[in-house]
Amino acid sequence: MAKRWGMAALLLFGVYALGMYFYIFHSGGGGIPSALQGSVADPAEFMSDRELLLSEEYSKIRNFLFFVATPFEWLVYLFILLAGLSRVFGKWSVSLTKWRILRNAVYLFLLSILTYIVLFPLDYYSYSLSKSYGISTQSFSSWMRDNVVGFWVNFGMTLIIVSVLYWLIKKSTKRWWLYAWLLTIPFSIFIMFIQPVVIDPLYNDFYPLQNKELETKILSLAEQANIPSEHVYEVNMAEKTKALNAYVTGVGSNSRIVLWDTTLNRLSDNEILFIMAHEMGHYVEKHIYFGMGGYIILTLVGLWLTAKIMTRIIARYGKVLKITRMNDIHSLPLFLLITSFLLFASSPLSNYISRYQESRADQYAIELTGDQEAAVSSFQELTKAGLSEVNPPKLVKWFRYTHPPMLERIIKVAEKQE
Query: Is 233 within a domain?
Result: no
- Confidence class of residue 248 from pLDDT cuts 50, 70 and 90? confident
Give the rounded percent of residues in the chain with a pLDDT score beyond 70.
Answer: 96
- Confidence class of residue 154 from pLDDT cuts 50, 70 and 90? very high
Residue 27 clears pLDDT 90, i.e. is over it: no
Q: What is residue 350's three-state secondary structure?
A: helix
Give the tens place of pLDDT for each residue, 349-371: 999 999 999 999 999 999 999 88
Query: Is 331 within a domain?
Result: yes
* Predicted local confidence at residue 10, as pLDDT: 92
Residues taking part in catalysis: 279
Look over the chain and give the mean of its residue pLDDT values, rounded to a whole number: 89
Q: Give dist(CA 155, CA 190) in Å, integer.
A: 17
Query: Is 51 within a domain?
Result: yes
Q: Give dist(CA 372, CA 28) in Å, integer.
A: 32
Structural domain for 99, as ranges: 2-203+287-417
Query: Is 46 within a domain?
Result: yes
Task: Give residue 244's Cα distance to chain centre.
Answer: 16
Query: Is 77 within a domain?
Result: yes
Query: Is 115 within a domain?
Result: yes
- Confidence class of residue 156 from pLDDT cuts 50, 70 and 90? very high
- Kind and range of the H or E element at 332? helix 332-369
Q: Give dist(CA 18, CA 266) in Å, integer.
A: 39
Query: Is 280 within a domain?
Result: no
Residue 233 clears pLDDT 80, i.e. is over it: yes
Edge-to-edge order in the sheet of strand 206-208: 206-208, 233-235, 256-260, 246-249
* Predicted local confidence at residue 250, as pLDDT: 62
Give the tens place of pLDDT for each residue, 328-344: 999 999 999 999 999 99
The count of structural domains within the chain is 1
Residue 254 clears pLDDT 80, i.e. is over it: no
User: Residue 390 in contact with residue 405, Cβ under 8 Å?
Assistant: yes
Least confident of 51-65, 179-193, 360-374, 398-412: 179-193
What DSSP string runs through 376-401? Answer: HHHHHHHHHHHT--SS--HHHHHHH-
Give the tens place of pLDDT for each residue, 38-50: 888 888 889 988 9
Query: Is 14 within a domain?
Result: yes
C-alpha to C-alpha distances, 58 to 32, 312, 346, 395, 399, nearest whole angstrom: 17, 42, 26, 17, 17
Measured between its terminal Cα atoms, the distance across the chain in Å is 65
Q: What is residue 285's three-state secondary structure?
A: coil
Strands 246-249 vs 233-235: parallel, antiparallel or unpaired: unpaired
Give the tens place of pLDDT for each residue, 131-144: 999 899 999 999 99
Residue 418 clears pLDDT 60, i.e. is over it: no
Residue 255 clears pLDDT 70, i.e. is over it: no
Q: Mean pLDDT across the stretch 255-261?
A: 80
